[in-house]
Chains A and B, each alone.
Chain A
Amino acid sequence: MPVKALYNYKFPPRDRAEVFGDDILVYAYWIDNPFFCSASAWRVPKNMKWKDFVAQIFGQLYGLDPDFKKVKSWKWYHFDQEFNPSDEKTLAELGLRHKSIVKFKPA
């Protein structure tokens, strides 16, 4: 249903992909762990390697959880689809796009 207005009401989305250039926004969410009060948001280069992305979000944020170091390996999801990202691939190669959400939990 369109907005009712007195004129043609159409504006470009404020946070559309092109605004971020070679970067994308990616959200990350630790499944079953509400210690982190919501998914997190990251601005990262599309060509960032998966391992660097993981190092960033774990290093800055998720490693703060005292239970983090007990986890040996992680199971990953892109939106709700299971996926097995390889470390050397870039986010773009793995199919991540602007405003993708990756979710993870201990494997």
Chain B
Amino acid sequence: MAKKKLTLAQKYHIYTRGLDWEPTYVSKKDIYPYAEYEGIKIKDWNKWEDPFRMTVEAYWKYQAEKDRRFYAILDGFIQNQGHLTLSDARYLNSIKLFIQGVTPLEYMAHRGFAFVARHLPGPGPRTAAFFQSMDELRHTQIEVHAGSNFNKYYDGFHSMTLMHDRVWYLSVPKSYFDDAVTAGPFEYVTAISFSFEYALTNLLFVPFMSGAAYNGDTPTMTFGFSAQSDESRHMTLGLQVVKFLLEQHEDNVPIIQRWIDKWWWRGYRLTSLVGAMMDYMLPKRVMSWKESFELYIEDQILEGLFRDLERYGIRPPLHMEQSIKEKEFLSHDVYWILFSFTFAAAFHSWIPKEEEMEWLAEKYPRTFNQYYRWRYEKAKQAKTPLPGDRFYYIGLPQLCQVCQIPMGFTDPDDPNNFVQRYVEYEGEIYHFCSDGCKWIFEQEPEKYVQAWLPVHEIYKGNCFAEPPKGPDDVVPQVLKWYNIQTDNFDYFVSEDYKNWKEWHKDMATVVV
């Protein structure tokens, strides 16, 4: 009699679980020391349903095929002098932020998932995390390769890893991921697989890749396509992780809820940088931050995902209401911060052109003309001794203890002021940009009192290449330590702009 054939799901179940064994001379607790301390209770790892069925053999084949396509397109772009056919060199400032801020996070995600792949006691999720760990390493690699061609021609691409560790605005993404990888494996997967990959990734990737396509950046667009199929796997893993944990034990529900509350706000604050890029840095715009927030967060996540999670006893994240209230302010606040401190950044900023201001006013009819346009008018008057015919904030900002962004988030109920919160904890004062960040601090103050805040570190003397020779030498020594060379200041006094004009001087079509 012929043997009964296994279904694909059964086959995969045996394939992944078949790599696991019951230890006999070492206790399970010694093998998986991180499995219990977070308080998550798992009754039966076998209830884990594989969110996708990927084998190592298929993985190599599939990714190699995608890589071949990617590198062929990259070669074509380079041979065709693609760096000249972008919409405008201003576009690349968003790619600089991406390379400096996001690419190193892909690498951290690779490490984080390697940790999860080692430390979760269930072989099913371990296998899934293993594939994601490889994905993240590959994403790091191809993002670097996609950006490296630009490094030959433009500023801001030359020192991503060092800058990620040191530069003030990059402490925002860095501290976000450091927070995640210093948590236990269950919080990590909830933070990254669920809250980031499932709930926020569309907000990051879709506008970013469409922005690349609109602005003539084929390598970044192709990277996006290549990563997209992996991302969909990551998203299904995120949802499966959370559902599995919720189904395993009712005691898990409040723990997961608290992590969702925390990581929603952490991730949301992080993506505010994307808002600034979308609304201000793309010469050809795709959609506004507000439109993207309404589509991906309000419609898909709030109305879709969280309706679906209600039956597990999960409610929408705490402080979600505040993000909705902020949606007409957020991107403007963050670009205004980046604009103000461009003298110390490895990218350029600029006063939006008149037609760009009109676009902003049209997309934000209740806020842009009322609260933001006048700042740029004033910025033309308020000149400083620094290069660029406009205002820079000659000083250091107060930073939020948790998200580490300068405390410049408008209070929607009092739009001429920023939200400011503080608490006293064990005799010391801590300041926050929002109720969300304050709440996160209060959950785990012991963690955030250790924050490496770039402004305070400068004041402690920890960020100088050499001891400054006087007050005027302070910023130059910090910039040297950041490895910022000609990467800073206004776009219209930059090497990028000078070169772009030079390269296009015989072309009638160029936008300058």
Contact of B336 among A32, A37, A101 (CB under 8 A): A37
CA distance A99 to B455 in the complex (A): 13
Indicate with 1 or 0, residue by residue over B88-112, a CB within 8 angstroms of chain A CB atoms.
0000000000000000000000000
What are some 26 contacts across the A-B interface (CB < 8 A)?
A2-B444, A2-B446, A4-B39, A4-B184, A6-B37, A27-B431, A32-B417, A34-B408, A34-B418, A35-B378, A36-B340, A37-B333, A37-B339, A38-B337, A38-B397, A39-B407, A40-B397, A41-B396, A41-B398, A41-B456, A42-B395, A43-B459, A65-B378, A79-B422, A101-B420, A101-B431
Q: Determine the chain A residues whose CB is within 8 A of the CB of B371 once the complex forms.
A: 34
Q: How far is the CB of B453 from chain A (nearest CB, A)?
A: 7
- Does B12 sit within 8 A of A, measured CB to CB? no
Residues on B with C-beta less than 8 A from A57 are 395
Are A66's CB and B378's CB within 8 A? yes
Interface string of B267-287 (1 = CB under 8 A from A): 000000000000000000000
B121 to chain A, nearest CB (A): 16
The reply to whether the CB of A71 lies closer than 8 angstroms to some CB of chain B is no
Is A98 on the interface with B (CB-CB < 8 A)? Answer: yes
- Residue B493, interface by CB 8 Å: no
User: Are B398 and A33 closer than 8 Å at their CB atoms?
Assistant: no
* In contact, B449 and A13 (Cβ under 8 angstroms): yes
Which of the residues B333, B339, B382, B460 comes within 8 Å of A64, measured between beta carbons?
B382
Of B399, B449, B455, which is within 8 A of A11 by CB? B449
Complex CA distance for A29 and B339, rounded to whole angstroms: 19
Which residue of A4, A38, A43, A97 is within 8 Å of B38 (Cβ)?
A: A4
- Cα(A17)–Cα(B399), bound, Å: 17
A61 on the interface (CB 8 Å rule)? yes
Top 9 A-B residue pairs of the complex, sorted by shortest distance between their CB atoms: A13-B449, A38-B408, A38-B406, A39-B398, A99-B429, A43-B459, A37-B408, A61-B395, A38-B397
CA gap between A64 and B379 in the complex, in Å:
10
A9-B446, A37-B393, A66-B382 given; 20 more Cβ-contact pairs under 8 Å: A4-B38, A11-B446, A14-B449, A14-B450, A15-B428, A15-B456, A34-B371, A36-B340, A37-B340, A38-B406, A38-B407, A38-B408, A39-B398, A39-B407, A39-B420, A41-B456, A64-B391, A66-B378, A97-B429, A98-B429
Say whether B337 contacts A37, CB under 8 Å. Answer: yes
User: B298 → chain A, closest Cβ, in Å?
Assistant: 26
Distance between Cα atoms of A25 and B459 in the complex (Å): 9
A residues with CB within 8 A of B: 1-6, 9-17, 19-20, 25, 27, 29, 31-43, 57, 60-61, 64-66, 79, 97-101
| Residue B384, interface by CB 8 Å | yes
A102 smallest CB distance to B (angstroms): 11
Q: Which A residues are CB-close (under 8 A) to B127?
A: none
- Please tell me if B394 contacts chain A, counting CB pairs below 8 Å: yes
Closest Cβ of chain B to A18, distance in Å, is 10
Q: In whole Å, how far is B430's beta carbon from the nearest beta carbon of chain A?
A: 8
Contact in complex: A36, B416 (CB < 8 Å) = no
- Across-interface contacts of A19 in B (CB, < 8 A): 460
Contact present for B384 and A64 (CB under 8 Å): yes
Residues of A within 8 A of B442 (CB): 1
Q: How far is the CA of A16 from the CA of B34 in the complex (A)?
A: 31
Interfacial chain B residues near A15, Cβ < 8 Å: 428, 451, 453, 456, 460
Residue pair B393, A36 in contact (C-beta under 8 Å)? yes
Complex-state Cα separation, A25 to B399, whole angstroms: 12
Closest to A61 in B: B395
Known contacts A37-B406, A37-B408, A41-B397; is A99 also within 8 Å of B416 by CB?
no
Contact residue among B393, B416, B447, B451 (Cβ-Cβ distance under 8 Å from A3): B447
Q: What's the interface size class on B, roughly?
A: 35 or more
| B residues in contact with A12, CB < 8 Å | 449
Smallest CB–CB gap between B372 and chain A, Å? Answer: 9
- In the complex, are the beta carbons of B416 and A33 less than 8 A apart? yes
By a CB distance below 8 angstroms, the chain B residues around A13 are: 426, 428, 449-450
B381 interface hit (Cβ, 8 Å): yes
Set of chain B residues within 8 Å of A27, measured between Cβ atoms: 398, 431
Q: Is the CB of A98 within 8 A of B428?
A: yes
Question: Cβ of B34 and Cβ of A6 under 8 Å apart?
Answer: yes
Task: Decide if A1 touches B450 in the complex (CB within 8 Å).
Answer: no
- Which residue from chain A places its CB closest to the CB of B39 in the assembled complex? A4
Contact A99 B394 (CB under 8 A): no
Pairwise interchain contact B431-A5, C-beta atoms closer than 8 A: no
Q: Which residues of A contact B38 (CB under 8 A)?
A: 4
Nearest to A16 among chain B residues (CB) is B428
**In the complex, how many angstroms separate the beta carbon of B270 from the nearest chain A beta carbon?**
17
What residues on B are CB-neighbors of A9 within 8 Å? 446-447
Assess whether A34 is in contact with B337, with CB atoms less than 8 Å apart: no
> A22 vs B426: C-alpha distance in the bound complex, in angstroms?
20
Residue of B at shortest CB range from A11? B450
Q: Is B352 an interface residue (CB 8 A)?
A: no
Q: Chain B residues with Cβ under 8 A from A25's Cβ?
A: 456, 459
Contact A17 to B449, CB < 8 A, known contacts A37-B406, A41-B399: no
Find chain A residues with CB under 8 A from B406 CB: 37-38
Q: Contacts of B450 on A, CB cut-off 8 Å?
A: 11, 13-14
Q: Which B residues between 420 and 451 are near A, CB-CB below 8 angstroms?
A: 420, 422, 426, 428-431, 442-444, 446-447, 449-451
The CA-CA distance from A89 to B407 in the complex, in Å, is 29
**Contact (Cβ within 8 A) B398 A40:** yes
Residue of A nearest to B340 (CB): A37
Write the chain A residue with the least CB distance to B372. Answer: A34
Is B69's beta carbon under 8 Å from chain A?
Answer: no
Q: B37 contacts A4, CB within 8 Å?
A: yes
> Of the candidates B37, B395, B397, which one forms a contact with A60 in the assembled complex, judged by CB atoms under 8 Å apart?
B395
Q: Are B418 and A38 in contact (CB under 8 A)?
A: yes
Report which residue of B37, B395, B455 has the largest number of chain A beta carbons within 10 angstroms of its beta carbon.
B395
